[in-house]
A and B are shown apart, each in its own frame.
Chain A
Amino acid sequence: MLTADGIHLGRAATGRDDAIDQCGRALLDLGAVEVDYLAAMHEREASLSTFIGEGVAIPHGTDQSRQFVKRTTLVVLQFPDGVDWGSGNTVKVCVGIAANGSEQVGILSALAHVLMDGDKAERLRSAADTRTVLDLLQSIDEENSQ
């Protein structure tokens, strides 16, 4: 679901649209989505920003676009120079999501915990290797954890 080949560090983007395109292409390259999913990611972003705070956005498609998801997959793209996300927000990490089930829940739970902890959030934004990202975003099973 989140694997080393879905983590792309040290990227640069010309803007929000380019960053979302890069997330979509990363999902496409992994065979997780059909190409139509990319348009849905832009549609979702235009209707409601996926910026979630701490320099992180979680681009994903719309409810209708689940039909273009072949396999629930997450990708992580890091933009060290920051991407202007509008409304005064700057994004340094995108977690691109393609989901047709709920297998992504554990990793998004881990992401929430990382972002609630300032030090961990900074480690994610400045990660220099994929191992660091994988360690930070290890799936958490809320149902069975304390």
Chain B
Amino acid sequence: MSSIDGAAIKKVVIACDAGMGSSVMVASQLAKRLKPYSVSVSHTPVNDIPDDADVVLCQSTLLARARKSTGDTVVLGFQSFLGDPVFDRVEAAIRDGGSLDD
């Protein structure tokens, strides 16, 4: 289990298998929500997650693959591409501070 303080989150990465569809959908929603907090949101294939990501989000079924390369970075899974509760958790931690745990 990893954790990060919401105030330290500057880069959120959304990963999916190909990085061309699903992760783009999620990244676009989160980018809009996190825009007021100057947090960058990007999307990548799950095998190509950048080292400097503060938080990684991916489909729950990809969690194991994502964690292979992310060390102690917080990695959270989502079930729904549209308005998953985990998006609210990430936004709340960034907005209000406090620990975000996976």
Contacts and interface: CB of A to CB of B under 8 A. Distances in A.
Contacts of A65: 18
Given A105-B28, A142-B31, A50 B22 contact: yes
A63 B47 contact: yes
B63 interface: no
Interface stretch (A6-14, A107-115, A126-134): A107-115
Contact of A53 (B18, B21, B82): B82
Interface residues on B, range: 20 to 34
Contacts of B21: 50, 58, 60, 97, 99, 108
Contacts of B35: 142
Contacts of B80: 53
A48 B64 CA distance: 14
Given A109-B28, A112-B25, A142-B32, A52 B82 contact: yes
A105 B82 CA distance: 16
Residue in B20, B27, B81, B82 with the greatest tally of chain A CB atoms within 10 Å: B20
B36 to A, nearest CB: 10
B61 to A, nearest CB: 6
A34 interface: no
Q: Which 6 A-B residue pairs are closest in the complex by CB-CB distance?
A: A109-B28, A99-B20, A52-B81, A63-B45, A60-B21, A108-B24
27 contacts: A44-B18, A48-B17, A48-B61, A48-B62, A52-B25, A53-B80, A53-B81, A60-B20, A60-B21, A62-B18, A63-B19, A63-B45, A63-B48, A66-B18, A104-B20, A105-B28, A108-B28, A109-B24, A109-B25, A111-B25, A112-B25, A112-B28, A112-B29, A115-B82, A116-B82, A116-B83, A142-B31
